[in-house]
Amino acid sequence: MNSKTSEQQPNPQGPEISNQRFVPSGPVMVPLESPKRRIRFVTFIFLVVMSLYMARLIEIQVVRGPELAATAQNSRLQTLPLPALRGNFTDSNGTPIATTVMARNVTVDPTLITDPAGTAAALSPILGIPVETIIAALTVDSRFSYVTKRITPKTWKTVAALGIPGVFSEPTTNRIYPNGSLAASVIGYVGAEGTGLGGLEYGLNDQLMGQDGKLTVERVNGREIPTSQRQSIDPINGLSVRLTLDADLQAMLEKSLGEQVQATGAEGGVAVIMEPGTGNILAMATFPTFDPNNAFVTDDKSKRNTTVTDVFEPGSTSKLMTMASVIEEGGANPGTQFTVENRLSRGGTSFKDYQDHKTLRLTLAGILAKSSNIGTILASESIGQEKLYEYLKKFGIGQSTGMNFPGESGGKLPDINNEDEWSDTTFPTLAFGQGLSVNAVQATSVFATIANDGVRMLPRLIAGYSNTEGVYEPSRVDEGVRVVSAKTAKTVREMLEVVVSADGTAKNLQIPGYRVGGKTGTANRYDEATGGYSGYTSSFIGMAPAEKPALVMSVFIHNPKTSTYGSVVAGPVFKEVMTYALAHRKIPPSTTTPPKLPVTW
């Protein structure tokens, strides 16, 4: 054997067969399964997928079915308000002064508007709105926008006929004042949302508003599904208010007052007509005034009911209270004689009458007829300051009228027990109508008390309410409060007739066929801004027929430029309107003549 390692030589007869298993180095190709096994595999996968679908279907239809159905329905449900109708205002005869009508708001879903310019061009002539304004509403980044509010149902019908996708409407209401400015300062006005902002609209807002209802419908793309069910809660309309006002008298008073304010170049004026036996206010006028249909184009001052919100010193019309107090207390009677000098010194102040004069010899009736300040002070001293103060309070000075009108001012009566308010000159000043303040209704109520045989009735503006079924319930009439006796009241009325006689300051205010009594007034106006007096209030308050008054009327005109005399400035309004009112209310003419009271001695 050769010790040298020998190399293995190849076998010429081929490779040597090994008994070891061959392991391939590349990927193995598995032979195809049999067709049956392949079908079973696919079927298994199919069943797994189907079971997942079935499980999901069971979850959707059975487990979560009601929830998902409700969710789908809720996505289609839309709740719309059913606005309640705001209660109406009528006069005492049922004439509408303020009413509410159904209207529509035009809304839009901007996402459904494909041609904003074309849509705006189509809507503009119908709605009366500029194209640019409508385009702005159609192109907001929202699903909801208002195009306009409170159009008439007829106008909406025209819009709906266009069939523009995305343009819809919702129900609303619109407040209408059919007679424009008639009683505007009394009624007031409403804001954009239909809420009262002034006058009785504001003061009675809760009673007038009612309660809105609602309607739930199903809609798709803004259109109601015809077969869907509706659910609704009906609205409850507000109460309607019947006022004591007489619309015809109100219109006449407003016209006459406005013309006279303008003719005299005055700053403004107010007037009131009252029924003395009930306290009912038949007319209440202010000038300047406004149209509540377009309230926001008028300044706030012109929208106030200045017959109750503004106060002023009454001047000589207040002498009525002094005379009634003196007669009631027995200090004097119509024939009591007084010597009236040109000047009278009291509390370190020299008092005078409106015009200088020689020494006069006047009766108590003559003092009232000539409107003497000095004579009135002398008469008041016959009862003293405590008694005069007591009667001024009984007449309601410095107190609320009881009407609860929004913004009402009770006026001012100095407190006799307050040294800061009551000085040595307060008593004589109060006697002739300065140093105290009243509103026009208070001043009218004083004369109505004398007209009503000495019984003061609280002024009334609301006659009653009607509910949604039309059932009317009158407001309660408060019992009157006696201020002076019927005898005293009758005596004072006869003295007031002397004022309108040839011997008085208002002889131009007689009304043919009727006995008339009244009192003129010219008072300095107190200016709070300067703390002094500036300008005048000229006034006349009268009643007819004087023997048994059915009507009392006051007229106050502030800062007239043509004259300051009450008979000249305010008197013409009284005469014109009272003449009309007596005929309108069918008040019989007088059948007696007034007694002849002495004026001088």
Domain architecture of the chain: domains with CATH: 247-467+477-584 (3.40.710.10)
Q: What is the pLDDT of residue 392?
A: 98
pLDDT digits (tens, 9 = 90+) for 150-175: 999 999 999 999 999 999 998 899 99
pLDDT digits (tens, 9 = 90+) for 484-506: 999 999 999 999 999 999 999 99
More confident residue, 413 or 228: 413
pLDDT bin (cut points 50, 70, 90) of residue 224 is low
Q: What is the pLDDT of residue 23?
A: 47
pLDDT digits (tens, 9 = 90+) for 39-79: 887 788 888 888 888 877 777 677 666 665 555 555 567 77
**256 token code pair:** 């006459």
Q: What is the pLDDT of residue 462?
A: 97
Q: What is the pLDDT of residue 301?
A: 87
Write the CB contacts of 555 (distance below 8 Å, at least 6 apart in sequence).
257, 269, 270, 271, 539, 540, 541, 570, 571, 573, 574
Q: What is the pTM of this model?
A: 0.84
Write the CB contacts of 290 (distance below 8 Å, at least 6 apart in sequence).
181, 184, 185, 189, 298, 302, 303
More confident residue, 229 or 250: 250
Q: What is the mean pLDDT of residues 361-378?
A: 97
Q: What is the pLDDT of residue 65?
A: 62
Mean pLDDT of the chain: 90
User: Which string of b and e fits 52-88 if b means at least 16 CB within 10 Å?
Assistant: eeeeeeeeeeeeeeeeeeeeeeeeeeeeeeebbbbbb
Rounded Cα distance between 332 and 601, Å, is 15
More confident residue, 435 or 1: 435
pLDDT bin (cut points 50, 70, 90) of residue 383 is very high
Check whether 565 has a pLDDT greater than 70: yes
- How many other β-carbons are positioned within 10 Å of the β-carbon of residue 161? 9
Check whether 17 has a pLDDT greater than 80: no
Q: What is the pLDDT of residue 136?
A: 96
Q: What is the mean pLDDT of residues 215-230?
A: 64
pLDDT bin (cut points 50, 70, 90) of residue 477 is confident
Q: What is the pLDDT of residue 524?
A: 84
Q: What is the pLDDT of residue 6?
A: 41
More confident residue, 601 or 38: 601
Closest listed residue to residue 322, CA positions, set 280, 381, 271, 269: 381
Q: What is the pLDDT of residue 431?
A: 97
Q: What is the pLDDT of residue 68?
A: 53
Rounded Cα distance between 492 and 454, Å, is 10
Q: What is the pLDDT of residue 418?
A: 95
Q: Which helix (H) or strand (E) holds 156?
A: helix 153-160
- How many other β-carbons are positioned within 10 Å of the β-carbon of residue 539? 32
Q: What is the pLDDT of residue 13?
A: 45
Q: What is the mean pLDDT of residues 375-397?
A: 98
Q: Comparing 231-235, 334-338, 462-466, which segment has the lowest mean pLDDT?
A: 231-235
Q: What is the pLDDT of residue 206?
A: 94
pLDDT digits (tens, 9 = 90+) for 142-151: 989 999 999 9
Residue whose pair of structure tokens reads 């106050």 in the numeric block: 556
Q: What is the mean pLDDT of residues 196-208?
A: 96
**12 token code pair:** 């010429």
pLDDT bin (cut points 50, 70, 90) of residue 229 is low
Q: What is the pLDDT of residue 47?
A: 84
Task: For residue 534, give Cα distances in angstroms to 451, 530, 578.
Answer: 33, 9, 31
pLDDT digits (tens, 9 = 90+) for 253-303: 999 999 999 999 999 999 999 999 999 999 999 999 999 999 999 888 899
More confident residue, 477 or 271: 271
Q: Report whether 288 contacts 270 (CB < 8 A).
A: no
